[in-house]
Amino acid sequence: MRLPVFCLLVFLGLFSACNRPNPDGEWSEYLGGPDRNHYTTLSQISPANVAQLKVAWTYSMPDSGQIQTNPIIVDGILYGITPSVQVFALDAATGRELWRFGDPLKTWHSTGRGVVYWTDGKEKRILHTIGPRLYALDAITGQLISSFGDQGSIDLHTGLPEQAKDKFIISNTPGTLYKDLIIMPLRLSEGSDAAPGDIRAFNVRTGQLAWTFHTIPYPGERGYETFPPDAYQNTYVGGANNWAGMAVDRARGIVYVPTGSAAYDFYGGQRKGRNLYSDCLLALDAETGALIWYFQFVKHDIWDRDIPAPPNLVTLHRFGRTIDAVAQVTKQGYVFVFDRETGESLFPLSEIPVPASTLPAEMAWETQVVPDQPAPFARQVTALRETDIPSYIADRDAVVAKFKSYKKELFAPPSKEGTLLFPGYDGGAEWGGAAVDPKTGVLYVNSNEMAWILQMVDEPKTNALSKLSPGEQLYTLKCANCHGPQRTGNVKSGYPSLVNIGERRDKAYVNQLIRNGKGMMPGFVLTDAEKNALIGFLFNEEKKEIGGVTALQDPRAQSPYRSTGYNKFLDSNGLPCFAPPYGTLSAIDLNSGEHIWRIPLGEDPALKAKGISNSGTENYGGAVVTENGLLFIAATKDAKFRAFDKHTGQLLWETDLPAAGFATPSTYSVQGKQYLVIACGGTKLGTKKGNQYVAFAL
């Protein structure tokens, strides 16, 4: 008897059961599958009946806050994450909780985008991170698998150099499976204290380290010459990590890994050079970690232009032939498309000259690469004009004066005058990533269009710090960048005030935030004495003795400059200083490189009150695209969930969510009934907190 090819591969042991394509009705991997295409063939919900969708069930969690989770559904069980990164299992037809697992000793205030399901046909495991540890759980009971690592978990510092053993590490995004390996993304500090972003694979059964790829190359490795000779030692350079997730071609045994910037993010005087393998798409042998090819999107990144989402794997028709391709969206609003095996770009690329840095000792790279096609899916900074500053904003004359003073070239380096970033720090594309219809080759991507200001100031000198108390010194070095020198924060840009924090939080809570981070705030590695000094300062209880400047491990780690924080270009009322749209949704044919349609995504309530419609809003979380013509997306701060005609962009359905759904939805079928589920945690962009997963059905 002749076996089908897939069955033959399983028989030969080339694929485990977990490597099979998603069965009909399931959403068994992050973003719908190893290709990360957010795609389904389920068709019970159609353009003809989508307006009849109703709430089927809701699940309320014991905690509330931002939820970025794309839940997975296997064998009728939904697996998701709470705002405090506890993992749970629900009956996917009813929302009834089956089990929940969390660290009983800590409450984490991070974000989790999903979990990993693995099976060999007998065992069924859920792999999930809490803080710096990766846990293996029994998928049916939620109990720890004691044979994995140290009684059920491993430390994700494993395999990193000695200097990194105590540095901040978490993982917001699910790992990627290949056979019995899980390849893990990491989120690190973005300062000079960052751990190295080594890509590492671990054995799913045992937790043992299987392989490592050095993103800051070691002596003798390709790319070593693109950093200072001792950069790999991780005393003053780190980062170049994958935090956004990966895609994997299991038939070819290739994992596609997008990487972030090297740290410190905004000044590279201590890391002169091109800085491989930061800001790259890496094609690695999934079995060994060996480099097959790479493409660097940003050379010597000093803008935090890290790659924000997993790539998409799609088969295209170009040059009269069929090509298996990998497409990568970026914060700048570009889509790059490559041959999956060779790394050859499928569209022409241009090497453009960019401005030199005005900061002494900084050496910005002289050129950067941009694609000629497809055209950007977000407006570029060079397209902005004074006439784009609307008449309704407050203090327009002052805003115009600021606009004129900022550097506005494409890839204009950070400056003391201020550099306008548009799209801003969060894109363009963000961690929700793009959806792709694999049958048509059309990519659907939602985008932010918000201007931010990147401005550099001198780092406080040691003699100036020595005049401050130990706690104020630490605040100045670690916290003032985001929360301001007077602790007043920047609420318009999302950074809370720390003035009188003792009236809102206790010391135990603040101590935990300093150690573990929260949301996009990293944790800090401080001694107990340093933490006590910082907390004493924040609670206005510190004695005012001066001195005791904390020495950094390597003097080169102390940048002479720091940014003034993550500041949006807003007027005094908090309105964006440029005309809308502030969020868009685009459809791009990757076969031809042509845009099909582009529409605003979301409605800004403040602008709607002024009679301005179709403004679009900043948005976080991706879309789901269906074979039969639908595109579902939440993501917007107006707390709507919408369905569009994927061919035209026409709105077909929308509904109000209990809180904004800053997450990618999932769709699945149980006993012949199709469901659509979205996590509603709100919190981001000043929206109200939520604590629910909401499922819809006909």
Q: Where are the domains of the chain?
A: 460-558
| Dihedral Cα 334, 339, 340, 342, nearest 10 deg | -120
* Phi, psi angle pair for 671, to nearest 5°: 50, 45
Would you tell me how many other CB atoms lie within 10 Å of the CB of residue 671? Answer: 8
Q: Are 568 and 536 in contact (CB under 8 A)?
A: no
DSSP string, 290-345: -EEEEEESSSS--S-----S--EEEEEEETTEEEEEEEEE-TTS-EEEEETTT--B
**pLDDT score of 508 more than 90:** no
pLDDT confidence tier of residue 4, bands split at 50, 70 and 90: very low
Q: What is the mean pLDDT of residues 519-529?
A: 74
pLDDT for 152 equals 98
Percent of the chain clearing pLDDT 90 (strictly above): 78
pLDDT confidence tier of residue 11, bands split at 50, 70 and 90: very low
**Dihedral over Cα of 606, 608, 613, 614: its sign:** positive
**pLDDT score of 546 more than 70:** no
Q: Are 71 and 32 in contact (CB under 8 A)?
A: no
Amino acid at the residue 111: T
**pLDDT score of 354 more than 70:** yes
Q: What is the mean pLDDT of residues 574-579?
A: 95
Query: Could you tell me how far CA 275 lies from the centroid of its own chain?
Result: 21
pLDDT for 8 equals 37
Q: What is the mean pLDDT of residues 270-288?
A: 98
> CA–CA separation, 185 vs 113, rounded Å?
12
pLDDT for 690 equals 97
**pLDDT score of 679 more than 60:** yes
Tell the residue number behind the tokens 């910005």, with chain if given: 364
Among 128, 152, 157, CA closest to 206: 152
Alpha helices (runs of H) in 485-635, residue ranges in sequence order? 507-516, 528-538, 605-609
pLDDT for 3 equals 35
CATH 3.40.50.720 at 460-558, yes or no: no
Taking CA atoms, 415 is separated from 421, 426, 613, in Å, by: 12, 19, 36
Tell the residue number behind the tokens 């935990």, with chain if given: 512
| DSSP 8-state secondary structure symbol assigned to residue 136 | E
Among 618, 608, 635, CA closest to 581: 618
- List, for residues 24-61, the tens digit of each pLDDT value: 689 999 999 999 999 999 999 999 999 999 999 999 99
pLDDT confidence tier of residue 237, bands split at 50, 70 and 90: very high
Q: What is the mean pLDDT of residues 519-541?
A: 79
pLDDT for 506 equals 84
pLDDT for 12 equals 36
pLDDT confidence tier of residue 7, bands split at 50, 70 and 90: very low
Q: Are 232 and 215 in contact (CB under 8 A)?
A: no
pLDDT for 547 equals 59
Mean pLDDT of the chain: 91
Give the chain's length: 698
Paired with 15 in beta bridges are none
pLDDT for 520 equals 63
**pLDDT score of 631 more than 50:** yes
Lowest mean pLDDT across 247-251, 492-496, 532-536, 537-541: 492-496
> CA–CA separation, 389 vs 387, rounded Å?
5
Percent helix, percent strand, percent coil in the chain, to nearest 5: 15, 30, 55
Q: What is the mean pLDDT of residues 293-318?
A: 98
Alpha helices (runs of H) in 522-657, residue ranges in sequence order? 528-538, 605-609
pLDDT for 10 equals 37
> CA–CA separation, 142 vs 175, rounded Å?
19
| DSSP 8-state secondary structure symbol assigned to residue 27 | B
pLDDT for 14 equals 37
Q: What is the mean pLDDT of residues 290-303?
A: 98
Q: What is the mean pLDDT of residues 81-97?
A: 96
Of 13 and 336, more confident: 336
- List, for residues 137-191, the tens digit of each pLDDT value: 999 999 999 999 999 999 999 999 999 999 999 999 999 999 999 999 999 999 8
> CA–CA separation, 162 vs 553, rounded Å?
13
Relative to beta strand 623-626, strand 39-40 is parallel
**pLDDT score of 6 more than 50:** no
Q: What is the mean pLDDT of residues 332-345?
A: 98
